[in-house]
Amino acid sequence: MCHALDSNDVRFFSGSSHSELAGKIAAYLAIPLEKTEVRRFNNDNLAVQLGASVRSRVVFIVQSLVPPVSDHLIELFMMMDAARGAAAREIHAVIPYFSYARSDKKDAPRISIAARLIADLLQTAGATHVMTMTLHSPQVHGFFGIPCDPLTARALFVAYLRQYDFDPADTLVVAPDYGRAGSAARLATQLGLPAASADKMRVSDTKVVIGPAIDRQVEGFRRALIYDDEIATGGSIVALSERLIHNGVEEIVVVCTHGLFSGDATEKLARIRQIREIVTTDTVPIPKGKKLSNMTILSVAPVFGEAIWRNYTRQSIGDLFAFGETCTC
């Protein structure tokens, strides 16, 4: 389904982090993707100028928080501030990947709860509404003092994975840790499969240990769908895959929303021959060199496009939320 927004009332912009996805969302909404000029002065300061009038209009700005995250974040702040200073009626920050959601608690002395800080700064910069997808920590949703829509790509995964016609007698969905157990259970329910959850302990940013709690849960299953919110270094997926294989799992399908694949993540995953496929989305741009032959990238443009359309036309988007039982997007 394609919806057309009123191009006289709406302005659609993209930051420099993921213009390809922004273009797909704009195409879904049959609205032009306006130009944005981003310059860097010789003192390293950024300068941003919106390429179309926004006075009294509804403004949408797409920016994913991918490396260099700080530059992209400042760029987003400046775009919103420019829109507010030019008398925009509404300013919607569309952030497909909100990387700071991982910093959601004070788990060491004298550190910042950065997710809450960034949420405050988005509002300070002019955002009247935030739209994002699959927050690493669901409680980050509550950090925002303005409306925030936490969307999910689960319907895309369900529609794609149904082609396999998995047998619940030999296939189950596995969450890499207890924090993702709810999400894994929702995916499993929609696929008609059982679900299990691993006990993960993070040793460092790149090393994790999977405990023995998963062993009895996967006994007798031949195939596993590992479902996670993101893959960065690949440490969690590698450790869990090795544990599953040790317990007799012969085939693995990895499913994640945010495919960052930093460092040598793809090389580590490619070495595990039991991984049949990696299914991810385009919330972050994946360089050509990171795209493995067994990798499938689904576009989230229809999900964001539908959510934007419903928001603009004042319709409910509850069934598109990450915590919803179903998603018909």
Look up residue 16 and give its amino acid. Answer: S
Query: Which one of the listed residues 200, 207, 288, 290 is annotated catalytic?
Result: 200
CATH number corresponding to 10-153+301-320: 3.40.50.2020
Other residues' Cβ atoms within 10 Å of the Cβ of residue 242:
13
pTM: 0.93
Could you give the percent of the chain with pLDDT greater than 70?
96
pLDDT of 314 strictly over 70: yes
Residue carrying the six token digits 């039982």:
325
CATH number corresponding to 154-298: 3.40.50.2020
Other residues' Cβ atoms within 10 Å of the Cβ of residue 299:
18
Strands 195-197 and 171-175, by their bridges, are parallel
Between helix 301-312 and helix 19-28 the angle, nearest 10°, is: 50
pLDDT of 203 strictly over 80: no
What confidence category does residue 326 fall into, taking pLDDT thresholds of 50, 70 and 90? very low
CATH 3.40.50.2020 domain range(s) in the chain: 10-153+301-320, 154-298
Residue 85, C-beta contacts closer than 8 angstroms, at least 6 positions apart? none
pLDDT at 327: 41
200 counts as catalytic: yes
pLDDT of 130 strictly over 90: yes
What confidence category does residue 213 fall into, taking pLDDT thresholds of 50, 70 and 90? confident
pLDDT of 313 strictly over 50: yes
B/e letters for 62-71, b = 16+ CB within 10 Å, e = fewer, are bbbbbeeeeb
The candidate with the shortest Cα–Cα distance to 129, out of 322, 317, 323, is 317
Q: Specify burial of residue 232 (Cβ count, 10 A radius: 0-12, 13-18, 19+).
A: buried
Strands 171-175 and 223-231, by their bridges, are parallel
B/e letters for 2-32, b = 16+ CB within 10 Å, e = fewer, are eeebeeeebbbbbbebbbebbebbbebbebe
